[in-house]
Amino acid sequence: MSAATIQDWTESQVLLSYGQARDVKYRVYRNGEKHFQEIRDFDDSPIHTLELPDGMKLDKSSYEVLLRYVLLDVVAA
């Protein structure tokens, strides 16, 4: 199966808590029937890849919100 880009790499500064921020880039893609949001540091090291629930189709601002929640969860772990 081949991957198809839904949203190409997008740079973002994600505000975490207490004035902390993290510079990341992310993309959204489909691989077969599944959708994913892949998050990386600017140096291209992987942070997290999230499989999106079936039927989840969002606009760009919604992916930004989802990105923040994923990063908060990963940083807390």
The pLDDT of residue 74:
75
The pLDDT of residue 9:
95
The pLDDT of residue 68:
81
Range of the domain at 64: 3-76
The pLDDT of residue 62:
76
Sign of the CA dihedral with 63 first, then 67, 68, and 69 last: positive
Q: How many domains does the chain have?
A: 1
| pLDDT per residue rounded down to tens, the chain (77 residues) | 578 898 899 999 888 777 788 889 999 998 988 889 999 999 999 999 988 877 666 666 677 778 887 877 776 55
The pLDDT of residue 63:
78
CB-count exposure of residue 26 (10 Å: 0-12, 13-18, 19+) = buried
